[in-house]
Structure 1
Amino acid sequence: MPLHSPRRIENPLGAIAAAIFILAVVGFGAALDGYVQTRHPVALLGAGGMPHALAFNVLGWAVPGLLAVAVAVYLLLRLPVGSHWVQRVAGQLLVLAGMAFTGMGLLPLDVADLDGPASQAHASAWMVWALAFIAGTLMLGIGSWKTLPPLARLALSCGLVAAVSAFALQGLVPAPIAQRVTFLAWAVWLGLALPMMGRSSPHR
């Protein structure tokens, strides 16, 4: 029984992170006059000079990102003893993804200078997040296919959706929509990873 209680406490962390992010995007988007979810990037809500930008950068980026780091750390701790190095590297990449997500709040977009250093720094944080998340989930899915099949299927599904939406859909659908599909894949991963791993992994 003691082995199960901590897991029940940890399991909602990802869902909480996803919910905070989604509510922040929807809520701050509704509060910003003229903002349209299908036409404007999420980063605009936290851009310098925008109303309530600091609050969004905290609630939309920093808090969910830190919770995502916690989810990735718990995932690493739950890996079975003797796990393949691919799984552990994947977990470390997911930690990096959470840190980069937080970094998007620390490095807000500058709408007055989209080619300036501030905007480039934000874009770099987004790219690190996307690449680390995609690589981490795909590696975890491949490395866990035999030992943790439900988690592997979730990881591969979310990683593939994120890869396609982040890098292949940009020319086919409006960029803000493609970006939101990527964020949705991340939110689904966060919400389900720990609960699914709890059902899949052997007791330690």
Structure 2
Amino acid sequence: MGGVSGVRLRPLVAGAHACTLLTLLAFAVLTGVPAGAPLAWSGARGMPLAWLFNVFAWIAPGLVVAFAALRLRATLPDAGLAAGIALRLLLLAALAFTAQGVWTLDPNELDAGASRWHATAWMVWNLAFGAGALMAGIALRTVRWPSLVICALVALCLLLPSLFGDQLGARVVLVCWWSWTLLLAWQLPRPH
């Protein structure tokens, strides 16, 4: 099979997540965003260099993971319907992750306009990612238990937001996203 091999997906996915993490940390320090603020606050309209934050926190990493999802699906052509659905949900989640940087928060209208689109992208990312982890847990033996645990954590954050609190819950989901996508990049079969 030509193109980028599965082995090369590992550093791509790890690099995408490192990019998000470093961007979140750097902009929190540079802009003085409080620790309890929404993750996307540094990219909100009116924030210094918000466009740069959005490119490196959401857009570029999301596109890298979307590419990885396409490549992983291509390496498992005979994996079955449930595995195919899991990897397509990974693709959908990655595109929704990207969309969070396209539709940014607007501090003046947190319940309308672009903020509403941002919240929709965030929810699609959560739902597609959680459902994908569940399907992977059912269909892919090599990632079964970690995927099911990750799915359970995401479900808890969505269904019982008071368990972690809004902002801690969002951070737990982000760490689960990193963990699940890295797990897939490391554990799924690679082309020969």
Do residues 6 (structure 1) and 2 (structure 2) align?
A: no
Q: C-alpha distance in 1, partners of 2:16/2:154?
A: 18
1:164 aligns with 2:156: yes
Residue 108 (structure 1) aligned with residue 131 (structure 2): no
Q: Calculate percent identity across the aligned residue pairs.
A: 34
Q: Which SS does the other structure have where 1:171 is aligned?
A: helix
Deviation at 1:90, TM superposition (A): 1.4
Structure 2 CA distance, aligned partners of 1:128 and 1:162? 13
Moved more, 128-137 or 10-19: 10-19
Q: Aligned ranges for residues 111-190 of structure 1 at < 5 Å?
A: 111-144=107-140, 149-168=141-160, 170-190=161-181
Structure (1 or 2) with the greater helix fraction: 2
TM (norm. structure 2) is: 0.92
The RMSD of aligned alpha carbons is 1.9
1:61-72 to 2 correspondence within 5 Å? Answer: 61-72=58-69
CA distance in structure 2 between the partners assigned to 1:15 and 1:28 by the alignment: 20
Indicate the SS of the match to 1:131.
helix
Report if aligned partners of 1:13, 1:67 keep a CA contact under 8 Å in 2: yes
Q: CA deviation at 1:80?
A: 5.3
Question: What 5-or-longer segments of structure 1 have no aligned partner?
Answer: none
Equivalent in the alignment of 1:53: 50
2-structure distance, mates of 1:21, 1:159: 21
Aligned-partner residue type, residue 173 of structure 1: F
Deviation beyond 6 Å, 4+ runs, structure 1: none
Asked if 1:191 corresponds to 2:182, the answer is: yes
